[in-house]
Chains A and B, each alone.
Chain A
Amino acid sequence: MSIRLLALVPVAAAVSLALSAVVDAVALPLFLDTTGTILATALAGPAVGIATGIVTSAVNTLRNPTFWPFVVVQIIVALYAWVAARAGLFRSFRTAVPAGLGLGVIASVTSTPISYVVFGCTTTGGIALTTALGKALGLPPLGACFFGSFVSDFGDKAVTFALVTSVLHALPRRAAARFPWALRAIGAA
């Protein structure tokens, strides 16, 4: 890993964690905690994205230990973002938002067993309440847990993909060209 990519990892991880202040300001039910992972992958490939995801989870764990078991989700997000970047899906909102929705489904499928086995589906208040709603609708325990994860992940990942697309397009071309994958991710190379 080159020095520039090494320097990118903590910056991207810190972006994921600092965006909570922005989310609080607009009062939307979003996490955006994978923004740095997706951005780092779109700029510099899967190794940097996975490293960013692991560092994000490790530092987040020091704030709230319940984040650590979900490190697997960060790795899967990085791999998915790499596939999306290779396919140039960050070229516009029209391609990025559906890709983000797809990631929402995959992230929910991945996080549901962890949430169910380790936390009894109580990872966050929102997930617990939507899981309770799923149970009230007659879903089995695991199905209700998936419903809870899906409701919170689906929109979150679509917004995250849209935000990363905005960043990649707002980045000056000369700056973007310094990262190995940035131009390909937006379909400019």
Chain B
Amino acid sequence: MTGVRLHPFTLLAIAGALPALAWILPAPAGAAATLAVALVLTLTPGGRPGSAGTRLSPGWRPGLAGLRTAVLTAAPFWLFLLLLHDVPTTLSIGLRITTMVASFVWLVAALEPARLVEAMVAAGWSASIAYLLAATLSAVPVLKARAQRIVEAQRCRGLSSRGGIAARLRALRALALPLVLSALHEVDERALALETRGLVPGIHRTPLAPPPDPVVERAARWVLLLACLFALIRRLM
């Protein structure tokens, strides 16, 4: 996949099909096969954290950073599975969960939210739906930073987050309330900005730079869908 940028819908189809197949195909062989594919994907250039705007972990060779993220995310599940289940069950569920984790680690690294929004608009999706996803993705880091500032400000004013449960709950209220209220006060500003830009519900916009969607990729997405359906029907029969 070096130098090739897959269409956002293709990335989503692959990341959705791998976990689906991991659960549909008989374990552990089926899940092991899907996991192998997912882990190889995390080693591709598009699967490196940082390739779609996320930060690269320091101290790791770029090619292994995606794999490392997937392994570290999945590791606790294996530990807890061993605590609760026997080895065959641990293997079956663990392989499936790791496939899901690795697929999404690859997806997050390879998928650019801006390209996804352009692709959705180009495919005729309502601009409102594209806005919901893009606006939430951009609002989360802003509100998290604000939450951190509120925590520091309240601590400067003498708020203690130590002590018993009642004291901690009081501290929680003192920290959460300003955050939520300030966020709600932004709603009017955002609504005004949307109205000014003509984003009224139900309208369709013209994408400025729609990602190319070659016939091969569109066919590949259908093949993935049909493969999942075929595997499901075969499993049920």
Q: What is the bound-complex CA distance between A66 and B103, given in angstroms?
A: 12
Q: What is the bound-complex CA distance between A23 and B173, given in angstroms?
A: 10
Contact at B179–A19, with CB atoms within 8 Å?
yes
CB-CB under 8 A from B171, the residues of chain A are 25-26
Contact at A122–B84, with CB atoms within 8 Å?
yes
A-B contact count (CB 8 A): 180
CB-CB under 8 A from A30, the residues of chain B are 172
Tell me the smallest distance from the CB of A24 to a CB of chain B, in Å. Answer: 9
Q: What is the bound-complex CA distance between A121 and B188, given in angstroms?
A: 42
Contact at A65–B132, with CB atoms within 8 Å?
no
Contact at A4–B103, with CB atoms within 8 Å?
no
Looking at the complex, which one of B84, B139, B151, B180 makes contact with A10 (CB distance below 8 Å)? B139
Tell me the smallest distance from the CB of A19 to a CB of chain B, in Å. Answer: 6
Tell me the smallest distance from the CB of A11 to a CB of chain B, in Å. Answer: 5
Contact at B147–A11, with CB atoms within 8 Å?
no
CB-CB under 8 A from B183, the residues of chain A are 11-12, 14-15, 18
Contact at A7–B191, with CB atoms within 8 Å?
yes
A189 contacts B by Cβ under 8 Å: no
Q: Tell me which of A71-79, A80-88, A100-108, A163-171 binds B.
A: A163-171
**Residue tally, chain A, CB below 8 Å to B:** 59
Contact at B172–A159, with CB atoms within 8 Å?
yes
Interface size class of chain B, counting residues whose CB lies under 8 Å from the partner chain: 35 or more
Q: What is the bound-complex CA distance between A56 and B148, given in angstroms?
A: 20
Q: What is the bound-complex CA distance between A55 and B113, given in angstroms?
A: 14
CB-CB under 8 A from B83, the residues of chain A are 128-129, 132
Tell me the smallest distance from the CB of A164 to a CB of chain B, in Å. Answer: 9
Looking at the complex, which one of B84, B144, B186 makes contact with A21 (CB distance below 8 Å)? B144
Query: Within residues 82 to 141 of chain A, which ones have a CB less than 8 A from any CB in chain B?
Result: 118-122, 125, 128-129, 131-132, 135
Tell me the smallest distance from the CB of A134 to a CB of chain B, in Å. Answer: 10
Looking at the complex, which one of B175, B180, B190 makes contact with A25 (CB distance below 8 Å)? B175
Across the interface, name the chain B residue whose C-beta is closest to A121. Answer: B84
Query: Within residues 13 to 39 of chain B, which ones have a CB less than 8 A from any CB in chain A?
Result: 19, 23
Across the interface, name the chain A residue whose C-beta is closest to B103. Answer: A65
A8 contacts B by Cβ under 8 Å: yes
Besides A11-B187, A14-B139, A26-B175, 7 other CB < 8 A contacts?
A14-B142, A26-B172, A119-B93, A120-B81, A122-B93, A128-B83, A163-B172
Interface residues, chain A, CB within 8 Å of chain B? 1-4, 6-15, 17-23, 25-28, 30, 32, 35, 39, 51, 55-56, 58-59, 61-66, 118-122, 125, 128-129, 131-132, 135, 159, 163, 166-167, 170-171, 175, 178
Interface residues, chain B, CB within 8 Å of chain A? 19, 23, 73, 76-77, 80-81, 83-85, 89-90, 93, 96-97, 100-101, 103-104, 107-108, 128, 131-133, 135-137, 139-140, 142-144, 146-148, 150-151, 161, 165, 168-169, 171-173, 175-177, 179-181, 183-188, 190-191, 194-195, 199-201
